[in-house]
Structure 1
Amino acid sequence: MRALDVGLNAGGVLVGLRERAKVEQRYRREKVIGGVVSPAVINGETMTSSFLGGSLESVSPVHRGANLEAPVVIGEGDRVDRRDMLKIMGATAAVPLAELVNSIGAAPVPRVLGMDHVQVILDSDKFITDWQHLHGGNVARHAAVAQLRNSAELLNCAAGPRVKTELFSALCRFAHTTAFMAFDACAHDDARRTFRFALSCAEEAGDWHLRAAVLSDMARQEFALGDYENSLTRVELALVRSDRLVATERAMLSALRAHALARLGRTAEAVSAIDVADREFADSDFPTNPPAISYYDVAEHAATVGQVFIGLASHGRFVAEAQDRLSIAMDGYGQAYARSRTLAQIDFALVAMKAGDPSQAVSVGIDAVAGASTIKSSRLTEGLRGLVHAGAGHESIPEVADFRHHVGAVVKSRDLVDKA
């Protein structure tokens, strides 16, 4: 130990640590055999039996975060500076710890696949889906990618036809969730690749419901990127053999079709598509819906159609319709869909600001900022940025000026986190 201490130029720190370990070991040994140990045994500090489970007051100062500048008395006249001690501890521990993490092996792949392995994927998807609805896609998406990679290894396992089909369905669901998280984080290349993998799995499984679900979110991504033609194409592909889909799925796809048509300037077709979406939604039989469309409830339909009316709103037209739908969405989303509710609030504030009601826009916008504070979503950040721009025409109003300043600061802070 002394040779290592000299080699690292530790100034006696490592030797001191070794001596301290010996003293503590002696304390524990004597404690086990029932001996009484004086507090002074441990470097003159209070080290009673309560150190291992008592109150904070009975723990020695070094374990309570005492002054790091104070010297530690270790043994026969040895004095060690605490900061030097911590530096040496960090220097000697960092490399081994990194090696330990890197040496952790991948999860073993079974030789024969069973439904229990498929269920693990479904359980993982459920957990990640619930998490990202509540907290956003930015935080846990890399963990989801890692789990998806491990799960995809199961494709190399021997399995019967039924289990293999179920595996493709489960992988599609998990990949779909992972892709949407990347989309939510504005990691669009990752999202596209993962969406394609999910779509391939859906087609291998022969699952029309999963296929429509994946294509619908691919359409949402293209729409967000301003490629309305490709967005419309994805929706039209999802509507192929619409007779195989349930009414709720057709309602969702018709609403997305209207969204793209509105931005392409095809107003009459967009309004007609909204009518179709509303009729299909009215025919929904929610208890029998497949899991892939379980999220599409009254609030989600109202939010989607509300966004269509935002695209149609001009010269005062469709503004009331947009606000009515978005109000339903804001009121309908529960806490489990915190991100969706906040997005609806942002959309409502945008409509109000553009419609000449800045006071209402600020009121709802403040709620949106508060809701976004616990959600790590780059899409939310972009929505808040849009609020700052939308308020530029009302800068002369003090409450709008203050609101824009506050939201601008929030956006800058979120940008730093999103890009970290």
Structure 2
Amino acid sequence: MHPLPTPSGHSRIIARLHSAISEIDAHAWNTLLAQQKQPTPFMRHEYLLAMEQSQSARPENGWTACHLCLWDAQRLIAACPLYLKSHSWGEYVFDFAWANAYAEHGKAYYPKALVAPPFTPAPGTRLMAQDDTTRTWLLQTLSQWCNEQGLETAHILFLSEQDRQACTQQHWLIRQGVQFHWHNAAPGTDQRFASFTQFLESLQGNKRKKIKQEMRKVADAGIEYRTVQGKAITSADWAFFYRCYERTYLEHGNSPYLSPAFWKDMQHTMPDHWLLFIAQSKGEPIACSLLALHDQSLHGGSENIAYGRYWGALARVNSLHFDLCYYQPIAWCIAHGYDRFEGGAQGEHKLARALLPETTYSAHWIADGPFQAAIGRYLERERKHTQDYAHHLQAHSPLKAMPLTK
């Protein structure tokens, strides 16, 4: 635990850096998280603790924890998961070109400061605070600390609208990206879909026909599904999931970011946040898809959200990926009253499955004036391309065109 200078004019407020999330009271952290407008499971104390205790995020692989908190006496009033990074892997907002530009000019881009849960590109609150003023204090304290440490850059990834407004007011550079999300809203109404059939009817005929064909191919191959949630996910189910998860990474020539110990911690400390779809052939599991869940009635926020996280298969079946990763989760969300299913980044193939483009944001503090100006100009050009890309995707929406009202 490292004390930092007090926010100007507020002698009661104490700023501290914590070299491990275990130094911070879990109840205080999670209570503050639940008060935010966009909490996610990935900001929970248990999730971050598992990252550290399982050695999935550790200094040796480039993640040095230095979580920033503001305390009013013994009360936690603001906090963010802060890491010193020695590389840019596992972030999903790509700044390798920036690092190369710094190196070409003889400047050290690393270490850099990063605010985000490791390996998790899911939008949500990053700057937890009791109010907007406290959020500004937190951001100012972060910038001051980066200056004192001689850091060149700091980055807040996949942030919420509240966070984005705070960063804009403090003159951080804002970067846009695109993900694909499905919304449980019947077109032209404010009502959720009553059934998967009604959802299919909201699609253009050719898209609806394609989805039905893909689902039929999986059924004709004799595939059946077993859906398990929370504590009903057994140790054997988790072990099978890890086999699939690991294989997906190995097939792409990479090692998995998250260790078996991390998932064991998830089984025991956050079981209710996980939903597992297991595909079976002749009674034997061959593939699975894991979703994270946020229930606003239990954990705050304004939406019930399912997050598509990982999938893997030990055998190949035509169209199984689409059914297991998109159609089964969408059907589950409709049946259980979930408002949104986030399919994550990359892949225009998601658009044909009714996951529509959503703009995501990150914020970037650049210490060097000329570099800040140059990166700012780059982001202006990139923002135009990103917006054009999103508009192009929207023009190819699979949803039926709504009739014009007179």
So what's the TM-score if we normalise by structure 1?
0.25
Task: Give 1 or 2: higher strand fraction.
Answer: 2
| Larger relative contact order, structure 1 or 2 (CA cutoff 8 Å, min sep 6) | 2
Structure with larger Rg: 1
Task: Give 1 or 2: higher helix fraction.
Answer: 1
So what's the TM-score if we normalise by structure 2?
0.26
